[in-house]
Amino acid sequence: MKTLKVSLDKKNSASYEIRIGADILDRVSLLIAKNFKAGRHVVVTDENVNALYGDTFRDALTQAGLNIKLIEIPAGESSKNIATVMEVVGKLLAAGADRETVLVALGGGVVGDLTGFIASVFMRSVRYIQIPTTLVGQVDSAIGGKTAVDLPQGKNLLGSFYQPKAVFADVRFLDTLPEKEFNNGLAEIIKYGAIEDDGLFKSLEDGIEALKNKDGKLLLKTVEACCRIKKNIVEMDEHEQGLRRILNFGHTIGHALEAVSGYSLSHGEGVALGMVAAGRISVRMRYLSAQAAGRIEQLAERACLPTRLDPAVDLTAVIDRLKMDKKKKDAVVRFVLLKKIGMPFVTGSVGDKMILEVLEGMSQ
């Protein structure tokens, strides 16, 4: 089991460990019992993860001497809302949860974001632990303390930065992850290579098929490399004042495409298309070589992620969506572009015309 430490500014938040391994649930239970003592530990999970791992995990925690309550929510993004928060909080109160209670998020991004959000406000905050069961969770969303629920007006509009006390990533969970979900994680992994680590990018070019076949050693090595990149970025910019924005490579256009598709495009598919667009914009603005942008497209294709847009996509609606996001957040739409693989920068000056032309070029 590998251990990485996320060292944050002690004045604002505590540091915590990310532990990565295969078949580590028994050890995880013992570590929780030893390091996060509480009268009650409440596991929040969804119906799919509960059916697969709920009993095993509950038994392991109980064996470690913990008093466990498990709360199940329906699977899927439609649960990531304030109604589910109220339901879970009601169950916490009924179970006698108090300020010492530790919440354990066992699941993917929805369970992690929702549980983190509840932990940040329940009784003015309680401790929580992330046990991500998806590839996106293990390499991205479980690390860094972004918590949120969606509002009718948009995704992640109600949330906080609130760090977990520990993250345990057991790659064995990925054995049962549907391929589409696994590919969503691959999009984030390609992103890490593109923004931060040419070596990781090359190793993906060498072994993307082995990774897709869930080669144990490669999976562990890759998840660890991504966690290391993410934790380094979060340590430097916990609250996304600057550097952390590079983690949004491919996400600006990706989010707009997802929204315009009515979320029939998955997050990873949106990010893959967004990375292709950002690469092509970088080339057109003469920052990046066409060859480097081509490497991103080829890798995404080999990962079975989309790199071309359905010609039916309403590109004007995509531009409008980008402008809507601009109104909600800052005065400018910030794009993460590349100078090289592993060398990103953030710019607010990409014109609509350029975006439209690049998206037209991706339509076929």
| Cβ 248 to ligand GLY shortest distance, Å | 6
Q: How many residues sit close enough to ligand GLY to count as binding (CB under 6 A)?
A: 6
Q: Show the binding pattern over residues 241-260: x = contacts ligand GLY (CB under 6 A), - = does not.
A: ---x--x-------------
Identity of the residue, 58 or 191, whose beta carbon is nearer to ligand GLY in the bound complex: 191
- With binding defined as CB under 6 A, does residue 142 bind ligand GLY? no
- 23's CB contacts (< 8 A; 6+ apart) are 170, 172
CB distance 267 to 239 below 8 Å: no
Using the rule CB under 6 A, which residue among 21, 54, 132, 144 binds ligand GLY?
144
**DSSP string computed for 193-216:** HHHH-HHHHHHHHHHHHHHHTT-H
Using the rule CB under 6 A, which residue among 140, 170, 181, 197 binds ligand GLY?
140
- With binding defined as CB under 6 A, does residue 146 bind ligand GLY? yes
| Cβ 65 to ligand GLY shortest distance, Å | 34
| Cβ 247 to ligand GLY shortest distance, Å | 4
Query: SS3 for 320?
Result: helix
Identity of the residue, 77 or 240, whose beta carbon is nearer to ligand GLY in the bound complex: 240
CB distance 108 to 137 below 8 Å: yes
Please name the amino acid found at residue 284: R
Identify the residue whose tokens are 């108090």. 98
Find the angle CA(92)-CA(95)-CA(34) to the nearest 5 degrees: 85
| DSSP label at residue 52 | I
Q: What torsion, rounded to 10 degrees, do the Cα atoms 124, 130, 133, 139 define?
A: 110
- With binding defined as CB under 6 A, does residue 165 bind ligand GLY? no
Find the angle CA(250)-CA(256)-CA(260) to the nearest 5 degrees: 140
Residue with smallest beta-carbon separation from ligand GLY: 247
Q: Which residues are catalytic?
A: 124, 146, 188, 230, 240, 244, 248, 251, 255, 267
Identity of the residue, 70 or 233, whose beta carbon is nearer to ligand GLY in the bound complex: 233
Residues of this chain that interact with ligand GLY (CB under 6 A) are: 140, 144, 146, 240, 244, 247
